[in-house]
Amino acid sequence: MPLETPTTGEQATKPQRSARKMFATATLSLQALVLFFATLVAHGLADLPRGIVWGVGCGLALACILIVGTLRFEWGYWLGWAVQLPVLICAIWLPAVGIIGVVFLAIWWWGEHAGKKIDRERAQFQHQQA
């Protein structure tokens, strides 16, 4: 049985996902993965007890994953900003993590800035089309 494609008048318009939320989700998910691998590296390089290394590293990675679940609320984005600080502080013990922290802080800032701009422009376009 062939599938019928709806004509333009019959197409249901799906609400588009927020670009801000997509950027934030991608950033935090990737950051969690990178933090886990950084923990593996820190396990062999840091002069700290292994329990602390794994606790901090996996704790930060888990925090990133949990924050993704809070992005339906505005305060979830503030948590995304807040998780960047401890990552930067970890550079005291492992300078390479500082590079990771700076890179992800820049990506987070860009995602927030560009995501809000895209969402605003989409809303204006939809308003003009209505």
Q: Where do the structural domains in the chain lie, given as residue ranges?
A: 19-125
pLDDT for 107 equals 96
pLDDT for 12 equals 56
pTM: 0.82
Distance of CA 92 to the CA centre of its chain: 23
pLDDT for 25 equals 96
Q: Which residues of the chain have pLDDT under 50?
A: none
**For residues 47 and 92, what is the distance between their CA atoms, to the nearest angstrom?**
12
pLDDT for 13 equals 66
CA distances to 51, 58, 76, 86, 113 from 42, rounded to whole Å, are: 11, 11, 28, 15, 32
pLDDT for 69 equals 95
